[in-house]
Structure 1
Amino acid sequence: MLRLSPSSVKQDRWTKYKLDEKMGVKEYWLVDPVNESVEIHIITGGQYQFQGVFTKDDYTSVHVLTGLELDLSEIFI
């Protein structure tokens, strides 16, 4: 089983998040393969806005690719 170290979680959840936000990355996804979930943030007015946490039971849209919808049950198999 894959486990992230606390320093990796901090790096992904804060350092990379703030850097990507500053650089204007339009969509930020945190994928958790252990819990089979995806946390999505979309940039609006220069700041990320939390869109939600989605699980393998959900469909979600890729906002930067209009019309692309993912069935997460096909991702987390």
Structure 2
Amino acid sequence: MWKFYTVKIDRWKKYQLYEAAGVKEYWIVDVTNESIEVYILKNKQYEFVGVFTKEEAISVHILEGFELKLDKVFV
């Protein structure tokens, strides 16, 4: 239980710090579940884009035209 609580607080703090700092694109990589959560900064607030899994690809918003195939990441 304590570990979950720590992870939850850590994620929330980083989310707030990155948003306040103006980080344009924020990814949370979950190696265990082979997934990536993506957030994009719009009007100084993060907008949730989605959760992507090994079978999918992610368009990198800050690098126009670049797409990352997750089956190459989660081998």
Aligned sequence identity (%): 50
Say which of 36, 40, 53 aligns to 2:51: 53
TM-score, normalised with respect to structure 2: 0.91
SS of equivalent to 1:64: coil
RMSD: 0.9
Deviation digits for residues 22-55 of structure 1 (CA, Å, limit 9, x no counterpart): 0100001000000000000000000000000000
AA partner of residue 32 (structure 1): D
TM-score, normalised relative to structure 1: 0.89
Q: Please give the alpha-carbon distance, in whole angstroms, between the structure 2 residues aligned to 1:36 and 1:42.
A: 20
Count of matched residue positions in the alignment of Structure 1 and Structure 2? 72
Distance 1:54 1:20 in 2: 20
| Deviant stretches of 4+, over 3 Å | none
What residue ranges of structure 2 are gaps of 5+ in the alignment?
A: none
Q: 1:40 aligns with which of 38, 41, 46?
A: 38
